[in-house]
Amino acid sequence: MTIHAIQTGSVRIKRSQVRGSGRGLRRRLRVFTDSEWTDWLPTYAWLIDHPEGIIVVDTGQGRHLVDSVRSLHPYHRWEVAFRIEPEEEIGPRLRALGVALRDVKRVLLTHLHVDHDGGLTHFPDTHILVARGELQTARGWVGRMRGYLPNRWPSWFDPIALDLAPDSFGPFAASSRLTMAGDVIAVATPGHTADHLSVIVVDQGTMYVIAGDASYTEALMMTGLIDGVSADEASARTTLGRLQRLAAERPTVYLPTHDPESADRLSNRRLACGRHSAGTR
Ligand SMILES: [Zn+2]
């Protein structure tokens, strides 16, 4: 089994979105008043080349996001900027890796934010899995007001609603096995969105955590600092605590979507700095 990091363009957001400042509503409003931008950050999607079939986690950015400056939604208009060329979308990226799109057995979306579902158009023949609650949150006009772009979903988009079982996996309370071998597991990591998922790939005793936006960087996960957009601070904190516990108890390679070090961390199998991993480096 191999995991590939696939960069689908890059994004700039406000610093207070990456690292939340203050509490409650003030923390979330701070994103709109902050004048400090991050550097350009990568947006990764992930390919799991598994003996039971290829699984893609997230589809990254789509070229349409470059027009987001014209959006009527205040977040899209003022608080985010995207860069992506057509050949950087996930379809061309996978073909460049020698992967035929019809061979992608399943796509799982950690959540439906626009830089995670932006490449859906490349997967008309693939089973697509989304957490049931996330799908409900993102749909329709209410979804658009929340900053989702359901109007950009392909007309054929009819994903399989994923319900995690109350089976714990490590520190995580709910999970769902995605392979017969039981080595690719979706786990509930609520916070950034209420139904956010992460995917854990277990390979030779190491946990590869495809973390979506559970945190924007490994350092923020390890320090337990929540971002500027999570609606529910308590569940975001609980999730970061669970990720810390996993990193402390098992060798863990932590792979957030926008961490500039994720690809390098994956290729060098660099472990999160928990107690256990420090001893196994
Ligand atoms: Zn997100």
The 10s digit of each residue's pLDDT in 209-256 is: 999 999 999 999 999 999 999 989 999 999 999 999 999 999 999 999
Tokens linked to 154:
């392909």
Per-residue pLDDT at 280: 41
Residue 166: CB atoms within 10 A of its CB come to 8
- Say how far apart CA 208 and CA 221 lie, in whole Å: 15
Question: DSSP H helical segments within the chain, as ranges?
Answer: 15-18, 24-33, 74-78, 90-96, 132-138, 140-145, 218-223, 233-249, 262-267, 275-280
By DSSP bridging, strand 127-131 and strand 160-162 are parallel
- Say how far apart CA 209 and CA 251 lie, in whole Å: 11
- Give all strands of the β-sheet with 160-162 in edge-to-edge order: 80-83, 2-13, 41-50, 53-57, 104-108, 127-131, 160-162
Contact (CB, 8 A) for 90 and 104: no
Per-residue pLDDT at 69: 65
pLDDT band at 31 (very low <50, low <70, confident <90, very high): confident
- DSSP characters for 62-76? -GGGGGGGG-SSHHH
Tokens linked to 263:
């690809």
Distance 88 CA to ligand 1 centre (A): 19
By DSSP bridging, strand 184-188 and strand 197-203 are antiparallel
pLDDT at 270 over 90: yes
pLDDT band at 159 (very low <50, low <70, confident <90, very high): very high
pTM for the whole structure? 0.94
For 3, 72, 188, 195, 237, the CA distances from 215, given in Å and listed in that order, are 20, 27, 14, 14, 10
Distance 213 CA to ligand 1 centre (A): 5
- Say how far apart CA 153 and CA 9 lie, in whole Å: 19
pLDDT, one tens digit per residue, over 3-15 is: 999 999 999 999 9
The mean pLDDT of the chain is 93
The secondary element (H helix, E strand) that includes residue 50 is strand 41-50
Of 220 and 76, more confident: 220
Distance 279 CA to ligand 1 centre (A): 33
Distance 116 CA to ligand 1 centre (A): 7
Q: Lowest mean pLDDT: which of 74-78, 106-110, 185-189, 260-264?
A: 74-78
pLDDT at 190 over 90: yes
Distance 110 CA to ligand 1 centre (A): 9
Distance 121 CA to ligand 1 centre (A): 19
- Mean pLDDT for 138-145 is 94
Per-residue pLDDT at 115: 97
